[in-house]
Amino acid sequence: MPELPEVEITRSGLLPLLNQTVKKVVIRNGSMRWPIPEHLPQTLLNQKLLGLRRRAKYILADFGAASSDEVVKSGTLMLHLGMSGSISLLDRYYPPEKHDHFDIEFNNCQVLRLRDPRRFGAVLWAGLEPNNHALLSALGPEPLEDAFNAKYLYGELHTRSAAIKAAIMDSHLVVGVGNIYASESLFRARIHPETPAKHLSLIQCEKLVTEIKATLIDALNAGGSSLRDFFGTDGSPGYFQQEYFAYGRTDEPCKVCSKPIKCIRLGQRSTFFCSHCQKY
């Protein structure tokens, strides 16, 4: 599943569309995780793309229409890549393939195209107040912003009995830290993934916050992780998987101590760690 770095890289790849006007919207298969709103071809027609933001793993595209000498925002489109989705920026003559379900064609002859073989992604209209949308309103802070700090994390964890890996993957606590980057951050912080969250000290929380931020920044700089489904909007792969300390390295030697990396199931997710380097 694409995580925060991959979604941010996708958002950045769409920036050439800013200030372009929608010429046409095509819905080939509206049966996604939630149905694609049937009104979008009419709602977005002749609308200008005013901004592209990210909240958690959602890309928020703000649209507006010209009114006199100004452009007035008309609403926000929410895009989510789901388990296997990707968004490409293509020439309008590039033919759609089997799993290409949604297009926005702009007046510069470029097309924003959503491909999603498993159809767990989403295209939703959030109106003028996207932060009040049910999928966004209860989310925790962004991990790369100042609000996510050791004091905040320590205060949130002191009543949680769940394993720390499950806790930091909870989007109500902090957004965008998925399975890959949770395993990598915990390794870097030298914290065992099964440690009860409430047992972490303030010093450990400070270390974990630092490593979550550093891991995500390193992933962004490497173009994200390309496993099976993620590529950038121009088709370029990410390279962060070449830097993994733990994720997906079962029985391979730890890069720090040479002991074999272990894999367990935790919260129905594969969890990778070094039992020598990461202690309770």
Angle at alpha carbon of residue 189, lines to 157 and 192, rounded to 5°: 70
64 to each of 39, 54, 100, 123, 185, how far by Cα in Å? Answer: 16, 18, 26, 18, 39
Whether the predicted pLDDT of 177 surpasses 60: yes
- DSSP, res 237: P
Of 132, 161, 193, the residue that ends a domain is 132
Q: Are residues 162 and 110 both part of a single domain?
A: no
94 to each of 103, 105, 192, how far by Cα in Å? Answer: 11, 11, 48
Name the pTM for this structure.
Answer: 0.89
Q: Are residues 18 and 106 both part of a single domain?
A: yes
Between strands 70-80 and 58-67, the pairing is: antiparallel
Of 100, 132, 164, the residue that ends a domain is 132
Mean residue pLDDT of the chain comes to 91
Q: Half-sphere exposure (CA, 13 Å, Cβ side) for 3?
A: 30
CATH of the domain at 177: 1.10.8.50
- Residue ranges of the alpha helices (H) in the chain? 4-13, 40-43, 150-157, 164-168, 179-189, 202-221
Query: What are the DSSP calls for 114-157, one per residue?
Result: EE-TT---EEEEEET-GGGSTTTTT----TTSTTSSHHHHHHHH
Contacts of residue 245, defined as CB under 8 A and 6 or more positions apart, other chains included, come to 184, 187, 188, 254, 255, 256, 274
Q: For residue 187, give its domain range.
A: 150-273
pLDDT of residue 223: 74
Q: Are residues 113 and 189 both part of a single domain?
A: no
Residues 74-112, buried b or exposed e (16+ Cβ, 10 A)? bbbbbbbbbebbbbbbbeeeeeeeebbbbbbbbeeebbb
**Mean pLDDT throughout 157-177?**
96
Whether the predicted pLDDT of 191 surpasses 80: yes
For residue 13, name the pLDDT band (cuts at 50, 70, 90). very high
Angle at alpha carbon of residue 94, lines to 89 and 99, rounded to 5°: 75
Residue position matching structure tokens 């100042």 = 146
The percent of residues above 70 in pLDDT, for the chain, comes to: 91
Residue 169 domain-assigned (yes or no): yes
Residue 27 domain-assigned (yes or no): yes
Count of C-beta atoms within a 10 Å radius of residue 145: 11
Classify residue 157 by burial, with Cβ atoms within 10 Å: 0-12, 13-18, 19+.
Answer: buried
For residue 239, name the pLDDT band (cuts at 50, 70, 90). very low
Whether the predicted pLDDT of 129 surpasses 90: yes
Q: Are residues 53 and 88 both part of a single domain?
A: yes
Of 68, 103, 132, the residue that ends a domain is 132
Identify the three-state secondary structure at position 13.
helix
Q: Are residues 171 and 71 both part of a single domain?
A: no
pLDDT of residue 256: 97
Whether the predicted pLDDT of 227 surpasses 90: no
Q: Are residues 158 and 128 both part of a single domain?
A: no
Using one digit for the tens of pLDDT, what is the confidence trace for 22-77? 999 999 999 999 999 999 999 999 999 999 999 999 999 999 986 666 778 899 99
Q: In whole angstroms, give the CA distance from residue 41 to residue 50.
A: 18
**Mean pLDDT throughout 223-240?**
51
Q: In whole angstroms, give the CA distance from residue 71 to residue 19.
A: 10
Backbone angles phi, psi at 50, to 5 degrees: -90, -30
Interaxial angle between packed helices 150-157 and 202-221, expressed in degrees from 0 to 180 and rounded to the nearest 10: 120
Identify the three-state secondary structure at position 184.
helix
Residue 278 domain-assigned (yes or no): no
CATH of the domain at 10: 3.20.190.10
**Domain count of the chain?**
2
Q: Are residues 170 and 214 both part of a single domain?
A: yes
| Residues carrying an active site annotation | 2-3, 57, 269
Residue 280 domain-assigned (yes or no): no
Residue 203 domain-assigned (yes or no): yes
Q: Are residues 12 and 112 both part of a single domain?
A: yes
